[in-house]
Amino acid sequence: MFIDTHCHLDMFEDIKGILERAKKRGINHIITVGIDLESSQKAVQLAETYDYIWAAIGIHPHNAKMFDEKTYIALEKLAQHPKVVAIGEIGLDFYRHLSPAEIQIKAFKAQIKLAKNVKKPLIIHCREAILETWQILEETQAFNCSGVWHCFPGDIDLARKCIEKNFYISIPGIVTFPKAERLQKVVKEISLDYLLLETDAPFLAPVPMRGKTNEPAFIYFIAEKIASLKNTSLQEVASKTTKNAMKLFHFCP
């Protein structure tokens, strides 16, 4: 059994086909993740429709310029839903700067506050902002929430620091790319007890599906690569990462 801990099902038209292919590959749970208020609401609707789909809600740093008090109140209400398992994806993105840095920071801190209030783990987005993200997590005592670094952007030292703070490391299809040596080193050296699997579908399709639209069924290829890097079985990767996801997000099979 596999769990795709991070994808964006609201971006697909053929949901039925996506889910059928995922089931055939042994993906028994999927967390669909919001990036704005609309997609967060859709995530909850999908989670209500399918018992094996769960929702995360939040405002992505790209969309932080849309964040205001009304948005916070709406997210706070959504967060009470029993199928909402995390606040995310939230964080900082200083690569594309689609929202000004100071607005990203404000939205990030507000959503950390929300996560602490509703006692949900965090799903962290971080691109070209590792130091700033870490500083905010420490300042706001966000590590008390626990959580996961989505599409892990750092090196082995950052991975170890995250683990010390009770955060998980999420491994996307990037790990299958030939030039992803830094992420591959993280996978080799970090225990399976701290790793999660994610597709970030429809983005970042893994080898051998590069060039295609990513989907949850492709989690298989990510798990296969991790098993190879760690010289262990696919079954072991599935078992450990599934256990980790259930421990972090508090849902049962």
- The rounded distance, in Å, linking the Cα atoms of 221 and 208 is 8
Range of the domain at 164: 2-249
Residue 43 · residue 32 · CB < 8 Å? yes
Residue 75 · residue 117 · CB < 8 Å? no
Q: Is 89 annotated as a binding residue?
A: yes
In CATH, what number is assigned to the domain containing residue 238? Answer: 3.20.20.140
Q: Is 215 annotated as a binding residue?
A: no
Question: What is the Cβ-side half-sphere exposure of residue 181, based on CA atoms within 13 angstroms?
Answer: 1
Count of domains in the chain?
Answer: 1
Q: Is 138 annotated as a binding residue?
A: no
Q: Is 62 annotated as a binding residue?
A: no
- The rounded distance, in Å, linking the Cα atoms of 151 and 189 is 17
Q: Is 200 annotated as a binding residue?
A: yes
Q: Is 60 annotated as a binding residue?
A: no
For the chain, 253 residues long, give each residue's pLDDT as a single digit of tens.
999 999 999 999 999 999 999 999 999 999 999 999 999 999 999 999 999 999 999 999 999 999 999 999 999 999 999 999 999 999 999 999 999 999 999 999 999 999 999 999 999 999 999 999 999 999 999 999 999 999 999 999 999 999 999 999 999 999 999 999 999 999 999 999 999 999 999 999 999 999 999 999 999 999 999 999 999 999 999 999 999 999 999 986 5
Amino acid at 195: L
